[in-house]
């Protein structure tokens, strides 16, 4: 991983739109949140037209799709066998929320955080598979189903828990992660179109402000 990070340093950040998006998602996968955010800022400044289209140049949609995938990768990763929360959270996004992100295993995740710490977490099981979650100190949490039943969990070290799920049931992780709910559309507006990934208004992303993000739950 260190060799990959060093290679990215040597290659530099400024490139074509799709290549900057690729660098950003690599930084997120390496859990280098600050460097991923720096690439995000540079992408918006150097590779985005006034209508928010990505410029290769000319227009190339790869950059738009790539940076949004990178944002998701900064907030949620599930490629390593567990759903990891906020793996590459930059300091500027110290407080915020997201909902509607789908992890491997067909789990729909909603989360909130304040001052860089997870404060709210829920999981909707869309296929009824076993769920594994990863976050520092998560072993101290309790899992409750949507009708109030406490769910028995398996603890793997201090940071990973696993529990069985039923299709269509939402599970809340508490009381360690509990806070007031935030409207995910107040800070960052999302315009949704059937058949297309969401397009984003970039309000609040370039300065230190609460971050929030919502995706469509069903794509037609």
119-166: pLDDT as tens digits: 999 999 999 999 999 999 999 999 999 989 999 999 999 999 999 999
Angle between helix 33-47 and helix 61-75 axes, rounded to 10 deg: 160
Summarised one tens digit per residue, pLDDT across range 21-69 is 999 999 999 999 999 999 999 999 999 999 999 988 788 899 999 999 9
Residue 99 has pLDDT above 60, yes or no: yes
112: Cβ–Cβ under 8 A, 6 or more apart, which residues?
A: 96, 97, 118, 119, 120, 121, 177, 179, 181, 182
Q: Exposed e or buried b for every residue in 133-154, given b needs 16+ CB within 10 A?
A: bbbeebbebebbbeeeeebebe
Query: Token pair 């290549």 is at which residue?
Result: 19
Residue identified by tokens 């997870």 is: 118
Which domains can be identified in the chain, with CATH numbers?
1-77 (no CATH), 83-220 (2.60.40.1180)
Query: Is pTM beyond 0.85 here?
Result: no
Among candidate residues 210, 181, 206, 215, the one with its CA nearest the CA of residue 93: 210
- In 3D, which of 78, 50, 58, 51 has the Cα closest to residue 18? 58
Catalogue the long-range contacts made by 87-90 (C-beta closer than 8 Å, 24 or more residues apart).
87/28, 87/31, 88/27, 88/28, 88/29, 88/30, 88/31, 88/32, 88/33, 88/36, 89/33, 89/113, 89/116, 90/33, 90/34, 90/36, 90/37
Q: What is the pLDDT of residue 211?
A: 59
Share of the chain above pLDDT 70, in %: 79
pLDDT at 184: 36
**Average pLDDT taken over every residue of the chain:** 84
Residue closest to 101 by CA, chosen among 117, 89, 86, 91: 86
């Amino acid at each position: 991983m260190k060799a990959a990070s060093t290679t990215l340093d040597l290659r530099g950040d400024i490139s074509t739109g799709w290549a900057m998006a690729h660098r950003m998602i690599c930084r997120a996968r390496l859990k280098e949140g600050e460097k991923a955010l720096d690439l995000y800022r540079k992408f918006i400044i150097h590779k985005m037209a006034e209508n928010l289209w990505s410029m290769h140049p000319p227009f190339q949609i790869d950059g738009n799709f790539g940076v949004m995938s990178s944002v998701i990768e900064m907030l949620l990763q599930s490629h390593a066998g567990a759903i990891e929360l906020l793996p590459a959270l930059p300091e500027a996004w110290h407080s915020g929320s997201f909902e509607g992100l789908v992890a491997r295993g067909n789990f729909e995740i909603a989360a909130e955080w304040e001052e860089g710490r997870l404060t709210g977490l829920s999981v909707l099981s869309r296929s009824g598979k076993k769920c594994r979650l990863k976050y520092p100190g998560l072993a101290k949490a309790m899992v409750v189903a949507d009708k109030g039943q406490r769910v028995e969990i398996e603890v793997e070290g201090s940071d990973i828990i696993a529990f069985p799920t039923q299709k269509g049931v939402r599970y809340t992780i508490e009381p360690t992660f509990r806070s007031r709910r935030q409207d995910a559309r107040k800070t960052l507006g999302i315009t949704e179109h059937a058949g297309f990934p969401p397009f984003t208004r970039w309000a609040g992303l370039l300065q230190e402000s609460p971050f929030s993000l919502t995706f469509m739950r069903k794509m037609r």
